[in-house]
A and B are shown apart, each in its own frame.
Chain A
Amino acid sequence: MITFDGVTKRYPDGTVAVDDLSLEAPTGEITVLVGPSGCGKTTSLRMINRMIDPSAGRILLDGVDVTTVDPPTLRRGIGYVIQQAGLFPHRKIVDNVATVPYLLGWDRKKAQARAMELLERVGLDPGLAGRYPFQLSGGQQQRVGVARALAADPPVLLMDEPFSAVDPIVRASLQDELLRLQSELNKTIVFVTHDIDEAVKLGDRVAVLRVGGRLAQLAAPAELLAEPADDFVREFLGRDRGIRRLSFVPADGLRLRTDLTVPVSAEVSSVRGTAEAWLAVVDSGGRPLGWVAPKDLPDSGGTLAEVPAAPYGTFVRGRDSLRAALDATLLSPSGNALAVDGSGRVEGVVTREALDEALARIAEDARG
């Protein structure tokens, strides 16, 4: 656990970068520091590994005041990832990753074997090990930066806007990769970003800082979106706060109807008389094919395979959020969403009424 205890950083010219910051970054969780530029988030991060020392207050790492530890020794036990990756251009990728093991005096072979293992772990082709940094793309370099930080298996990882210099698609995949890694490694991570969406996506807890280095709010992402502490946080969270909050509500609680599906082998004539406005057509394996409106079906023989079906949207029950379910209802003219299991088989139908009930419950919660 990392504890900030009344930490202040004041520069000789009088500028206050961090003002009486107290917060905890719990062990095994991702704590995100987010805020506009000038809010002291990077300064706060860099005080943890003593790249900067505080003017007042203490930072404790598992109860030990970091200023009592010799900086290089302290830093070798803390992974550090920065925006531009900061790889050593004159060293091969494998040696870049093995930097800290070498410093710790590991046997060269052992350090390189560990580096190879980590390259795979962060999703890189081990064939890149013999390349130099300039031969890699920005996204690949950033992965190497993460591998390097993890090389000596430090319990704590500090990440300073690590993904903000890569394009949005690569950024999203790096974020997913980080969450996957974290589910395996359970590091204590402090992550700095100016991007609130990234903060909400990655953080177990999000600390919003305001200009002048004061803590505006510290909360779990769902709570942050639901109950911003003040106008500053509300404004910083931006638009669509309500919709984005749905990402944190599981779709499991939705009422399912199981009587609205028909097999594709059914006769058109037998379906045409049904009272329901829409029915979901499924194949013999239970996978969705589309929606049909019984009253619009042609007065002809044959099975449902011969009539066109309208588009559909699905969400995975047990994994997806309410936001995904809402999205699925908007993808179909039926206004209904199909709940599927992990292998894509239809478990039931979420009607617009069922969704409305769920949304009403959330709105009720928001009343406090």
Chain B
Amino acid sequence: MNFLIDFFGNPANWSGPDGIPLRFAEHLEFTGLSLLIATLIAVPLGLWIGHTGRGALVVVLSANAARALPTLGLLVLIVLLMGVGSTAPVLVPLIALAVPPILVNTYEGIRGVDPDLRDAAYGMGLRGGQVLGRVLVPVALPLILLGLRTAAIQVVATATVAAYVGLGGLGRYIIDGLATLRYELTVGGAVLVGLLALAVQGLFALIQRVCVSPGVSRRRKVR
């Protein structure tokens, strides 16, 4: 508890290049950018593979690769290849981390839609794209959002590694605190990361509520 009071009570921690607002903003930048790019890659790919049934192997490989991939190792490798100085090196491993859960869930969501429903949609005279956009996506949306949420939380937690290669973000506090034996920094940084993860969770609950049809989430009473 004392660590928290020391950390959050210290005015020096609230301003300047080491201040909480700036570190928080940096953390959000890594997280937001890598999630955005991962989403732009994985959602269309997942929709396409799920809808056409072609390239399902990519999904399996990606899911397995995700388990085997050492984020920190990849980060160091990229830094060695590209050098420090931009945020790009930290984005690459974070994107690599975020793509598989989004891809797998989007694919499974689309593929898992009741075949009768797909059949009815085509039978009514919807074209392929309309079947995907007007029927499959709305019905698969809870799973697609689950993939995005899983990815977001993982990325929020893992973006702390940026600090290992001299970049900013909330990881700075954790690494620096350990290095300088100022444990209030480490604990404070960890708490901030945890809070951010909770906020992400809350944000997705809200998106789910707004975007998913009550007919799919079954939020209404049965008669």
Q: Which residues of B contact A77 (CB under 8 A)?
A: 125
Q: Would you call B124 and A103 a contact (CB within 8 A)?
A: yes
Q: Determine how close the nearest CB of chain A comes to the CB of B151; give it in whole angstroms.
A: 24
**Could you give, for residues 122-133 of chain B, a 1 whenever the CB lies within 8 Å of some chain A CB and a 0 otherwise?**
111111001000
Identify which of residues 85-114 in chain A touch chain B, using a CB-to-CB cut-off of 8 Å. 85-92, 99-100, 103
**A357 CA to B62 CA, complexed, in Å:** 80
Number of B interface residues in the complex (CB < 8 A): 26
Q: Would you call A72 and B127 a contact (CB within 8 A)?
A: yes
Number of A interface residues in the complex (CB < 8 A): 31
Q: Would you call A89 and B117 a contact (CB within 8 A)?
A: yes
Q: Would you call B124 and A51 a contact (CB within 8 A)?
A: no
Query: Which of A86, A92, A148 contacts B116, CB < 8 Å?
Result: A86
Given contacts A89-B213, A103-B126, A134-B218, contact A51 B138 (CB under 8 A): no
Q: Determine how close the nearest CB of chain B comes to the CB of A127; give it in whole angstroms.
A: 11
Q: Is B54 an interface residue (CB 8 A)?
A: no
Q: Would you call A135 and B124 a contact (CB within 8 A)?
A: no
Q: Would you call A73 and B125 a contact (CB within 8 A)?
A: yes
Q: Is A83 an interface residue (CB 8 A)?
A: yes
Q: Determine how close the nearest CB of chain B comes to the CB of A135; give it in whole angstroms.
A: 5
**A278 CA to B142 CA, complexed, in Å:** 73
**Could you give, for residues 54-86 of chain A, a 1 whenever the CB lies within 8 Å of some chain B CB and a 0 otherwise?**
000000000000000001111111001011111
Q: Which residues of A contact B139 (CB under 8 A)?
A: 88-90
**A74 CA to B125 CA, complexed, in Å:** 7
Q: Is B216 an interface residue (CB 8 A)?
A: yes
**A99 CA to B120 CA, complexed, in Å:** 11
Q: Would you call A72 and B125 a contact (CB within 8 A)?
A: yes
Identify which of residues 121-175 in chain B touch chain A, using a CB-to-CB cut-off of 8 Å. 121-127, 130, 134-135, 138-139
Chain A interface main SS type: loop
**Could you give, for residues 125-144 of chain A, a 1 whenever the CB lies within 8 Å of some chain B CB and a 0 otherwise?**
00000011111100000000
Q: Is A49 an interface residue (CB 8 A)?
A: yes
Given contacts A89-B215, A90-B138, A134-B215, contact A49 B123 (CB under 8 A): yes
Identify which of residues 196-223 in chain B touch chain A, using a CB-to-CB cut-off of 8 Å. 213-216, 218, 220-223
Q: Would you call B122 and A82 a contact (CB within 8 A)?
A: no
Query: Which of B117, B125, B215 contacts A103, CB < 8 Å?
Result: B125
**Could you give, for residues 326-360 of chain A, a 1 whenever the CB lies within 8 Å of some chain B CB and a 0 otherwise?**
00000000000000000000000000000000000
**A132 CA to B213 CA, complexed, in Å:** 9
Q: Which residues of B contact A83 (CB under 8 A)?
A: 116
Query: Which of B123, B135, B214, B220 contacts A88, CB < 8 Å?
Result: B135
Query: Which of B126, B213, B222 contacts A91, CB < 8 Å?
Result: B213
Q: Determine how close the nearest CB of chain A comes to the CB of B47; give it in whole angstroms.
A: 16
**A148 CA to B127 CA, complexed, in Å:** 17
**A83 CA to B214 CA, complexed, in Å:** 24
17 intermolecular pairs with C-beta atoms under 8 Å apart: A51-B123, A73-B125, A82-B120, A83-B116, A86-B116, A86-B121, A89-B117, A89-B213, A90-B213, A91-B215, A100-B124, A103-B130, A132-B213, A132-B214, A132-B215, A134-B222, A135-B221
Inter-chain pairs besides A89-B117, A103-B124, A131-B220, 11 sampled, C-beta below 8 Å: A51-B119, A84-B114, A86-B120, A88-B117, A89-B215, A90-B138, A90-B216, A92-B215, A103-B125, A132-B213, A135-B222
Residue numbers of A with Cβ under 8 A of B are 49, 51, 71-77, 80, 82-92, 99-100, 103, 131-136, 148
Residue numbers of B with Cβ under 8 A of A are 114, 116-117, 119-127, 130, 134-135, 138-139, 213-216, 218, 220-223
8 closest cross-chain pairs (CB), A and B: A86-B120, A132-B215, A76-B125, A90-B213, A75-B125, A80-B123, A90-B138, A84-B116
